[in-house]
Structure 1
Amino acid sequence: MGWFFSDSPAPAAPFRDSQQPAPPNNLASDLKPASTDSKTEKVKPCCVCKDEKSARDECMLFSRADDPQEDCKGMVDKYRDCMRGFGFKVA
């Protein structure tokens, strides 16, 4: 036989529906690698310290004291401490 022919049959093509395009090979190339360290993940301030925030807000809104800021100082301090624990700078 010549160089155009071989003794082995040609490999079969993989089955693919002719109406569906082939998927690209780089589907996950744009994804960021998942980190396993939770401290390196950046969290949003709205998503942390929810219990402390709601307790602080309720205290400020429903306080019957003449000075709600002074009355709720403990709640405000708990909220600030919680936010600092997540790395946020709170005045």
Structure 2
Amino acid sequence: MNTQAPVNTQAGTAEKKLKPCCACPETKKLRDACVFNNGEENCKDFIEAHKECLRSKGFNPQ
């Protein structure tokens, strides 16, 4: 006698939700390298470019 419920195997069709950490890898890499090498105060353009990219993907960075 089988008492288990059927398993739904349609997980592959479900859309994966994009996370902020993965949304803009190009601008994130440039921003992080600049901050590491030059300090945050000298990288405002890279930081703002990354924020704009995140906004374009539907996120609201602070």
State whether TM-score is above 0.5: yes
* Unaligned residue ranges in structure 1 (runs of 5+): 1-25
User: Where is the helix percentage greater, Structure 1 or Structure 2?
Assistant: 2
Match of 2:48 among 54, 57, 77: 77
Are 2:26 and 1:51 aligned? yes
Task: Classify 1:51/1:33 alpha carbon distance in 2 versus 1 (closer, same or farther; 3 Å).
Answer: closer
Q: How many pairs does the alignment contain?
A: 57
Report runs of 4+ in structure 1 exceeding 3 Å deviation.
32-35
Larger radius of gyration: 1
TM-score for both structures, normalised by structure 2: 0.70
Match for residue 14 of structure 1? Answer: none
What is the alpha-carbon distance in structure 1 between the residues aligned to residue 46 and residue 18 of structure 2?
A: 22
Structure 2 counterpart of 1:90: 61
Report the TM-score when normalising by structure 1.
Answer: 0.51
Could you list the runs of 5+ residues in structure 2 that have no partner in the other structure?
A: 1-5
Larger RCO, structure (CA 8 Å, separation 6 or more): 2
The structural deviation recorded for 1:47 is 1.8
RMSD, aligned CA: 2.4
1:1-91 residue pairs with structure 2 within 5 A? 29-32=8-11, 34=13, 42-63=17-38, 68-91=39-62
Amino acid aligned to 1:54: K
Percentage of pairs with the same residue: 30
